Structure 1
Amino acid sequence: MKVLLTLSAQQGRVVSKEELISTVWPDTFVGDDVLTRCISILRRITEDDPHTPHFIQTIPKVGYRLVAPVSELAVEVHDDAPTIQGSPIPTTEPAPVHPSQASSQQRRRIVGWTVAAGLIFGSLFAMWSYQKSRTRLTGASVSFRTIQLTSYAGEQIQPAFSPDGKQIAFVWISEDTASRRIYIKTIGTEEVKQLTSDTDEQFSPTWSPDGRQIAYLARSTEGLSLSVANVKSLALPRKLLIPQQPSHWEQGALSWAPSGKSLIYPDHSGTAPDSSIFLLDLQTFNTRSITTPPAGWEGDLNPAYSPDGRWIAFTRASETAVRDIYFMSTATGELHQLTHDHMNIDSLTWTADSSSIIFSSNRGGKYGLWKIGLKDKTPERLPVGTEDAYQPAVGPKPGDLAYTQGSAIWSILRLQQTSGKESSVQSDAVLTSTQQDSAPSLSPDGSFFAFQSRRSGNQEIWIASRAGDQLRQLTFMAGPLTGSPSWSNHGNKILFDSRPGGHSHIFCVAAAGGRPKQLTFGDANDITPRWSHDDQSIYFRSNRGDRWQLWRVSAVGGDPQPVTTGDGIVPQESPDGKWLYYTRGNEDGIWRVPPSGGAETQILAQPSAAYWGYWQVTSRGIFYLDRGSSSSAIRIFNPDTKVTSLYTMLREVPPVYSGLAVAQAGKVVLITDQHDAGRHITLIQAQ
């Protein structure tokens, strides 16, 4: 409201972002994204189109202007009216008014007093909210201090308090090699030590109740393991089992029971696409599934024992980015749903008294920390961790809280080849943002590209020219995660996936803009759509067959049909339509199969797992990311001759789950880039 009032006070004038931020948030440091979020909300309420605005106009790289007419509702006040501190109050005997003016003046008075009452109420509510926010961490009105627990090179994530609250274990991602190891830091000192000498990739640390051991998940050349290491020894850990497929390791995937008798983690049963919570009995080493998610759902994730051992909390996801919090009794298995947001929940933890859950979510826009009680079931935003806050951890001391906070610079890089030699490839950033811009898809002539972006507050599909200008928002789904754009071969339509009803489905929209058309339906999840070579069919990944497969549907909609028996993602037809190429969600390499079905054959060992979007089929061959041990490159593979050639070397490894796009047989290549990324651990202590 203050943003709107500030703009209306200077109607017709361009108000810079800096002026708006300093006026609306004079004593608080906020970024441009907070202002962008406010503008987005105002446009949604007024149903304003940013391309043809009737209310608020965006002035690129400068600020905003209110273009709607502004008029002030005047309240008539008589000269002899008594005042209190300079403010007029109604007299007991108002001056006579002509009957034709009476009703008009009365309405104006009502409006004036209503506005005044609203402002008073708003001020009181703001004061009450501020005082209430001071009690959210511990339940008492206390002050607290913020400490930067880690600020080392690389990234530090996944904090976990020791049972006595004196130490914090965390995952340290090195800056040079991107290796992941677990370290322990003593609070109040600079003492940091590595947990083990093990060289495995390590995730999700959780302390034993006696504080002597830390369990964690690990990945090595042998596969996946659940390991337990002694805190006071660098000896190699004890590997207990090989889980089939732990999900979302960076979001808290392991929890040790307060009794010390069991560990819980998410895993898959056989080839089932959904995950459930598994319990490992540490006395017998037997495992069993303790939750059963609905069919067609992504499954159950982020398990956490309550400190008193009575409950297990977890998130249940209808789709990866659509989750709610559930908790179940460890004694009876009785299940309760705690939130009904249908938004993304990154991770969660219990308060020390087991009465509430603190979680990271984008329910308020950017990811922040929230608290919800088991009884009142009303989420409240914490006064700390309000932006870019993830992976909360609560200590045993009242008020102690740690969380991960970070940021990065995202860019879409243009690699343009001026001749046939690798040395002639030029690189420049066509888009740069502190919000995530990724997954570019070029138009057939290479003049424009679509991409997914969070620059409007929610992730939507945007379009820009190859030079990065003529930027415009294409979709306005206003909340549900929307991404994976794919430009048609005829250049007039764009596919994408979105989650307006809790499940992901495929949509199509004209490249010029307009209302999207939904092409798939049901309780399954459909993602990463791609066009056939003639734009007559659409391929996509789906779990509608009780496992992840590639499916195909007519471009005008209809009944989808399976294409592969195994997993597949980012499907792409060859230019002649003879082959369907694809990657897999959790495996390295590229496969192919005839579009009508047949043998599914692996033809390349790259790109590596999690980089499944970094490749494209062209008439020149398959462009793909080769993530080598020492450096990364884009290479071209000819499926007919089996010959591989170098397109260009890359300075840095690009971020996962994003992608590249190719047009004009490689004359233009766009790739997602992330740099200056930093995630570190913040510690909150009550005073």
Structure 2
Amino acid sequence: MMRDGVERHLEPKVMKVLLVLASKQGHVVSKEELISSVWSDTFVGDDVLTRCISILRRITEDDPHTPRFIQTIPKAGYRLVAEVNELPDEETLDLHRVTAASAATFEPASTLESPNAQTPPKRPARPERMIAAGLTVAFLLAVIAVIWSYQNARTRVARGNASFKTIQFTSYAGEQTQPAFAPDGKRIAFVWIAEDSQSRRIYIKTIGSEDVRPLTPGTEDQQFSPAWSPDGRQIAYLAIAKDGVSLYIADVGSSVPPRRLLIPQEPSHWEQGALSWSPSGKSLIYPDHSGIQPNSSIFLLDLATLHTRSITDPPAGWEGDLNPAYSPDGRWIAFARASETAVRDIYFMSTTDGTVQQLTRDRMNIDSLAWTSDSASIIFSSNRGGKYALWKIGLEDKVPQRLPVGTEDAYQPAVGPRPGQLAYSQGSAIWSIVRLRENTSRNNSSSAEAVLTSTQQDSAPALSPSGQSFAFQSRRSGNQEIWIASAQGDKLRQLTFMAGPLTGSPSWSNHQDRILFDSRPDGHSHIFCVSAAGGRPKQLTFGNVNDITPRWSRDDQTIYFRSNRGDRWQLWRISAAGGEPQPVTTGDGIVPQESLDGRWLYYTRGDEDGLWRVPPKGGAETQVLSQPAAGYWGYWQVTSRGIFYLDREAASSTIRIFDPETRRSTLFATLKDPPPMYSGITVTQDGLVGLMTYQGDAGRHITFVEAQP
């Protein structure tokens, strides 16, 4: 579509939502009616519709609080409040005669009706003839093309749908993930995570029975990413031992210890399907880093010589290439290429000449992928429609289609060798932001009361300096956005409306008037600032690099953040008024926070245990604590009482207070369960009350799908 002379591409479903609203301009259209009209061929939740509305608002620069285009009617639906004009019949019969002067437009309505106001007379429903504000003939042609493609897509889906039988393949205590079919289609290997999350081991289960056996009896290694050899006799996998992550091969059904083949330099996202065996059985592929390169590429391991080499070359400044998978015919290697951790698209490479082609262009997240048995399509898990679901895309048509199974919270698809075989992991959890109070009883127990609770992910809370409000990142609107709530958990309001790009890491200014956050509108993560009262965010950093986890200096004049703009992850600083960013550390750094006197900048590191500090303008980098653990880099905060931090070294996870002067730690709170990774704690400046994310009733299990004749 065209708006203000700028071409903007809309997804077919987003366009269809606009057309349905336009066909009933001025009338409230319920969510149920919109979903049944646009997604009549599959089941989706409200979050998918919410995402489409958010995209339309972003493109039309429409404020949901004072709408000129689309009005939200609480507990009812949506209404198009802009005026709609139709093209005369003779002009629609001959599109070539339509000119910009005679093209119809949307005009903002002079007044907005209240939900109880009388609606205007109903107009004839002609959705293929509706056009949006300020659009020329190109938009009308696009509308007709979208309707044509939509109807054809519905026909293709209807013809291709088969009857499916779904079975709960695993339902054991703990979590079961990463299914992998044996070449005979009779068994599935999977990772079983114990309830206490202390061990992850690979098991094999026969389809249609309860015969479940561990792949390697007696080992205590943390095991990931099982991949069957083409003859079904061996399974390759990655495991964490005392000396790091290693690649192993185990004989199936044998008591012989597995063979360790190599220690990767720095394997990336090995918990998301990081291994694939070539159909010839001669090689394995996996993601790793070349030397000191900050981005990962796909490596090939020759099993005869044990020599390795990189076979892909991601762009500089990108996260890199992940999730590799050989096609069953051996002609292709598919992989996800990430401009940033949460922004990935699917690419595929020829194994004969190395030619690489891009398959998706969503700039959303690809959790994992698998080839169909005919090597013509790829099944993948993505949040491109809101919640993570399973999609299918062909190498030829390159049009993603949502599968009729795995429509919500579905991850890690695996395709079996027999027609219609599919397996995937599916999970859910209850997310809470809880208030922590200091241990006061003799038994060292501490209270934790829920402030917010949701089935959607609420995390990374950040208290305002006064402690009266907190910001947090949440997926309750369909996409992850920044929200604000009172300290009691009420008076919720959505602060950002980025409408798709992952948005998070909120940080209050010390004057309480602004909030920093990171978001990914162009495929890379950048730093933004928005008024705490709401409004249009201001982008502060730019470029084909990734900037994340911003924090203010004590005087609000400087902003610190983590960035790979120096060809590796470092801490950087930029003036709050703008200018060129400057590096602070030579090594990695994340979640930077100044000491109260401004003498030190404390920080954690992305993949290492511990807490470090450095002078704010650079200098010697010194480790001051061995905790928090890697992956828990947000679980600490500088306060007037000392540095609060999460300690996972003991049997029970605790929050402790570190005094930098005496270098001694005291107990603040004992936690009932370990908190989820990649979130954090926030504490009032007086150190009396803290907030933290808690994940309860979490579970992931494997679903087995089989097509019925």
TM-score when normalising by structure 1 = 0.86
- Bigger radius of gyration among the two: 1
Residue 384 of structure 2 corresponds to residue 370 of structure 1 = no
Distance 1:411 1:650 in 2: 14
Cα deviation for residue 422 of structure 1 reads: 9.2
Matches within 5 A, 1:253-292: 253-292=274-313
- Which residue among 187, 194, 197 is the counterpart of 2:214? 194
Cα deviation for residue 563 of structure 1 reads: 0.8
Match of 1:401 in 2: 422
Matches within 5 A, 1:13-32: 31=45
Q: Go from structure 1 to structure 2 and tell me whether the alpha carbon gap of 1:420 and 1:498 turns closer, same or farther (over 3 Å shift).
A: farther
Cα deviation for residue 337 of structure 1 reads: 1.4
Match of 1:104 in 2: none
Match of 2:530 in 1: 509
Q: Go from structure 1 to structure 2 and tell me whether the alpha carbon gap of 1:669 and 1:22 turns closer, same or farther (over 3 Å shift).
A: farther
Cα deviation for residue 48 of structure 1 reads: 4.9
CA contact (8 A) 1:134 1:143 kept: no
Match of 1:166 in 2: 186
List per-residue Cα deviations over 1:463-519 (Å, max 9, x = no partner). Answer: 111111111111111111111111111111111111111111111111111111111
Distance 1:478 1:14 in 2: 21
Matches within 5 A, 1:48-67: 48-52=62-66, 56-57=71-72, 59=74, 63-64=75-76
List per-residue Cα deviations over 1:346-372 (Å, max 9, x = no partner). Answer: 111111111111111111222111111
Distance 1:297 1:582 in 2: 23
Aligned residues: 646
Match of 1:99 in 2: none
CA contact (8 A) 2:25 2:82 kept: no
Distance 1:671 1:387 in 2: 26
Match of 2:626 in 1: 605
List per-residue Cα deviations over 1:283-302 (Å, max 9, x = no partner). Answer: 11111111111111111111
CA contact (8 A) 1:439 1:672 kept: yes
CA contact (8 A) 1:195 1:234 kept: no
Deviates more, 1:495-504 or 1:373-382: 373-382
CA contact (8 A) 1:8 1:70 kept: no
Residue 157 of structure 2 corresponds to residue 133 of structure 1 = yes
Match of 1:558 in 2: 579
Matches within 5 A, 1:472-487: 472-487=493-508
Cα deviation for residue 33 of structure 1 reads: 3.7
Cα deviation for residue 11 of structure 1 reads: 9.3
Distance 1:603 1:70 in 2: 59
Amino acid at match of 2:63: D
Matches within 5 A, 1:40-51: 40=54, 48-51=62-65
- Which residue among 395, 399, 404 is the counterpart of 1:383? 404
Runs of 4+ more than 4 Å apart: 1-15, 17-32, 34-48, 52-55, 65-73, 108-111, 115-118, 121-131, 417-425
Match of 2:667 in 1: 646
CA contact (8 A) 2:173 2:194 kept: yes
CA contact (8 A) 1:634 1:647 kept: yes
Q: Go from structure 1 to structure 2 and tell me whether the alpha carbon gap of 1:429 and 1:38 turns closer, same or farther (over 3 Å shift).
A: farther
C-alpha RMSD over aligned residues: 3.4
CA contact (8 A) 1:528 1:540 kept: yes
Q: Go from structure 1 to structure 2 and tell me whether the alpha carbon gap of 1:22 and 1:378 turns closer, same or farther (over 3 Å shift).
A: closer
Which secondary structure does the structure 2 equivalent of 1:665 belong to? coil
Amino acid at match of 1:168: I
CA contact (8 A) 1:422 1:648 kept: no
Distance 1:2 1:286 in 2: 53
Distance 2:77 2:147 in 1: 27
Cα deviation for residue 434 of structure 1 reads: 1.0
CA contact (8 A) 2:272 2:323 kept: yes
Amino acid at match of 1:466: A
Matches within 5 A, 1:580-591: 580-591=601-612
Q: Go from structure 1 to structure 2 and tell me whether the alpha carbon gap of 1:58 and 1:679 turns closer, same or farther (over 3 Å shift).
A: farther
Q: Go from structure 1 to structure 2 and tell me whether the alpha carbon gap of 1:23 and 1:677 turns closer, same or farther (over 3 Å shift).
A: farther
CA contact (8 A) 1:552 1:562 kept: yes
Which secondary structure does the structure 2 equivalent of 1:634 belong to? strand
Which secondary structure does the structure 2 equivalent of 1:666 belong to? coil
Residue 311 of structure 2 corresponds to residue 299 of structure 1 = no
Deviates more, 1:487-496 or 1:40-49: 40-49
Cα deviation for residue 426 of structure 1 reads: 3.2
Q: Go from structure 1 to structure 2 and tell me whether the alpha carbon gap of 1:113 and 1:184 turns closer, same or farther (over 3 Å shift).
A: closer
Cα deviation for residue 649 of structure 1 reads: 0.4
Matches within 5 A, 1:527-676: 527-676=548-697
Deviates more, 1:396-405 or 1:47-56: 47-56
Deviates more, 1:469-478 or 1:371-380: 371-380
List per-residue Cα deviations over 1:509-543 (Å, max 9, x = no partner). Answer: 11111111111111111111111121111111111
Distance 2:439 2:19 in 1: 49
Cα deviation for residue 221 of structure 1 reads: 1.5
Q: Go from structure 1 to structure 2 and tell me whether the alpha carbon gap of 1:22 and 1:123 turns closer, same or farther (over 3 Å shift).
A: closer
- Which residue among 126, 129, 139 is the counterpart of 1:114? 126
Structure 2: give runs of 5+ residues left out of the alignment: 1-15, 86-119, 131-144
Cα deviation for residue 244 of structure 1 reads: 1.6
List per-residue Cα deviations over 1:380-416 (Å, max 9, x = no partner). Answer: 2212112111111111111111111111111111113
Q: Go from structure 1 to structure 2 and tell me whether the alpha carbon gap of 1:532 and 1:113 turns closer, same or farther (over 3 Å shift).
A: closer
Match of 2:140 in 1: none
Task: Give % identity.
Answer: 71
Match of 2:170 in 1: 150
Match of 2:205 in 1: 185
Cα deviation for residue 56 of structure 1 reads: 3.8
Amino acid at match of 1:561: Q
Match of 1:83 in 2: none
Distance 1:377 1:682 in 2: 27
Cα deviation for residue 458 of structure 1 reads: 1.0
CA contact (8 A) 1:312 1:327 kept: yes
Distance 1:301 1:26 in 2: 34
Q: Go from structure 1 to structure 2 and tell me whether the alpha carbon gap of 1:554 and 1:207 turns closer, same or farther (over 3 Å shift).
A: same
Residue 330 of structure 2 corresponds to residue 330 of structure 1 = no
Matches within 5 A, 1:350-499: 350-417=371-438, 425-499=446-520
Distance 2:44 2:32 in 1: 10
TM-score when normalising by structure 2 = 0.84
CA contact (8 A) 2:25 2:84 kept: no
List per-residue Cα deviations over 1:144-191 (Å, max 9, x = no partner). Answer: 211111111111111100011110001111113441110111011111
CA contact (8 A) 1:11 1:65 kept: no
Amino acid at match of 2:231: D
Distance 1:23 1:336 in 2: 34
Distance 1:24 1:505 in 2: 33
Amino acid at match of 1:149: F
Amino acid at match of 1:188: G
Amino acid at match of 1:657: Y
Which secondary structure does the structure 2 equivalent of 1:610 belong to? coil
CA contact (8 A) 1:474 1:513 kept: yes
CA contact (8 A) 1:149 1:681 kept: yes
Distance 1:266 1:511 in 2: 41
Q: Go from structure 1 to structure 2 and tell me whether the alpha carbon gap of 1:434 and 1:31 turns closer, same or farther (over 3 Å shift).
A: farther
Which secondary structure does the structure 1 equivalent of 2:484 belong to? strand
Amino acid at match of 1:112: P
